[in-house]
Each structure stands twice: as C-alpha cells, then as structure tokens.
Amino acid sequence: LRAALERAKAGGAPCVGQWMEFPGYTLAKTIAGLGFDWVLVDCEHGNIADNEMYLAIGAIASSGVSPIVRIPADEPWMMKRALDAGAHGIMIPMCESKEQAAKIVNAMKYPSDRWPQGFRGSGAMFAPANFNQNGVQYQSTANDNTIIIVQIETRNAVENVEEIASTDGVDMLFIGPNDLAASLGYFPFDHAKIEEVQVATARTLKACKDAGKYAGHFALSAEIAAQRSKQGFEFMNCGADIVAVTAWMAGEKAKMEAL
Ligand code: 3PY
C-alpha cells in the first residue's frame, strides 16, 4: 500500500480503491480481482461483523490487493482486531485533535525504540499470511508497513487539522465529505457545492502537503475521484458496492419499464 501511495505522491497514478459495505468472501474476491490498489472493508457503516472482516481481508490480500479496514470508532481493541486480521491500513473515523491522533498511533504500534509509547499487543496469528510473511517478519515490520489513516470530518477536526497532520505516525488524513458537511451545518450529500466545505477541504489538503502526509478523499465515481486527484489528493475510492448494485439494478429496471 505504501508503494502505491508513494507512486501517487510522486505524481504517478492515484492510489485508487473500492468501498465494501456488504459482507462476503466472494464479493471481496470479486472486487479485488478487478485490480484496484486497495479495497476498504467498512466496519463503521457496512454490514460487516468481525468474522466477515477476517474473510474479506483474506480474500483481498490473496488477490495481491491491499485490504484496508474502517473500524467503527476510535477504540484500541477495534484497531487490534483489524490489524491482527491482516489489514494493510486502518481508517479511523472522527479524529478531532492531536492528542486523539497520538493515542491512535500508539494503539497501532508495537512497543519499540522508535515507538516507546506503542501498546499494540503481540499475537497477530493471521496477519503475517496476509503480508506473505512469517510471524517474526510481520512483527518486526508491521510498525512501518501498516498505514494509519485518520478521518477529518468535523468542524473541530478542521480547526485542529494542522496539528493532526503534524502528528508523528499518522500517514494520511482522509476527508469524509458527508460528515464534514453535516458537522458544518449543511445537508451531507450536497458537499461538493458548499463553499465552506470546500474551504475546509482545501485547508486539510494544504495541511497534508505541509506535513508531508498523504491526502485522501471519499468519492463515489471515477469522475469525482479524478477531480480530487487533480486537486492534489493521492488516495480515493471511485465507488462502493452498494452504490454499484443499486444504481445498476435501478437503471435496468427503469429500462425495462420504458420498453
Ligand atoms: C463521509 O463522507 O462522511 C465518509 O466518511 C465517507 O463514508
């Protein structure tokens, strides 16, 4: 995942993925088989319980694609479950301060000289296989290999965004535009048209660039993803399974009705 992010940062193709809201090994395998850089398993808003998260991660990683898990909340035990299952990256919703970001980082780092405050527990039984490593290799490289993504999606987060971006160990700030719009007092789905949301978005992007961190943005189509890539974001999805299913099926239904 880091290599794909570095490619994007160097001006190459953006680091692009898809969003999974449905559970299912075969679904994860099918999406990953399309050849994205990553597939995100959404345990915040998706219908994906713990065991299904394990299955999806295995399906994605075995296709040579990076599994990322969005956990439901900033809880160290949830980070541990997703890391131990073999996630290559973890996304944490609603990060609002440098203190919170630092706590998140410490929860995801094994204690080491570099990370003396790290408190991730040893015992990743299944993660090594999802990195094509043995247990020793995994434990000695996980601190460097695992990408930590915090979401910027509230007014408080934007007010503290430079400090959050400067937090050691945070790899990426990822804008959740719907929550951000809601937090700023607007209707979520209109975010692209709202000046205040776009000002907050630009401020977040600049904070990432100034701190040398990756910048990510949620996108539900290739058109939106391309706009964000042009703006300077390195990482974005270009859809979600639930959107693909409903949009395509509704379209076919409409065509049948028009016959
Ligand atoms: C948002 O748009 O708020 C997100 O977090 C994307 O799911």
Cβ pair 237, 16 in contact under 8 A: yes
Ligand 1 mean position to 175 CA, how many Å?
7
Q: With a 6 A CB cut-off, is 218 part of the ligand 1 pocket?
A: yes
More confident residue, 188 or 54: 54
Residues annotated as part of the active site: 45
What residue numbers bound the domain in which 169 lies? 2-258
Kindly give the number of the ligand 1 atom that is closest to the alpha carbon of 177. 2
Number of domains in the chain: 1
Longest dimension (CA), the chain: 68
DSSP character string of 17-83: EEEE-S--HHHHHHHHTT--SEEEEETTTSS--HHHHHHHHHHHHTTT-EEEEE-SSS-HHHHHHHH
- Over residues 140-163, the pLDDT tens digits come to 999 999 999 999 999 999 999 999
> Residue holding tokens 């804008």?
175
Ligand 1 mean position to 73 CA, how many Å?
13
For the cut 90, the answer to whether the pLDDT of residue 119 exceeds it is yes
- Over residues 36-86, the pLDDT tens digits come to 999 999 999 999 999 999 999 999 999 999 999 999 999 999 999 999 999
What is the Cα–Cα distance from 68 to 85, expressed in whole angstroms? 11
Q: With a 6 A CB cut-off, is 241 part of the ligand 1 pocket?
A: no
Q: Which residues pair with 70 in a beta bridge?
A: 42, 91
**CA distances, 37 to each of 3, 59, 102 (Å):** 10, 14, 27
What is the Cα–Cα distance from 124 to 134, expressed in whole angstroms? 10
What is the Cα–Cα distance from 49 to 128, expressed in whole angstroms? 21
- pLDDT band, residue 189 (cuts 50/70/90): confident
For the chain, what is the mean pLDDT?
A: 97
Q: With a 6 A CB cut-off, is 178 part of the ligand 1 pocket?
A: yes
What ipTM does this complex have? Answer: 0.97
Q: What is the mean pLDDT of residues 230-254?
A: 98
CATH number at residue 91: 3.20.20.60
**What is the DSSP-derived secondary structure letter of residue 118?**
-
Q: With a 6 A CB cut-off, is 106 part of the ligand 1 pocket?
A: no
Ligand 1 mean position to 178 CA, how many Å?
5
Ligand 1 mean position to 46 CA, how many Å?
12
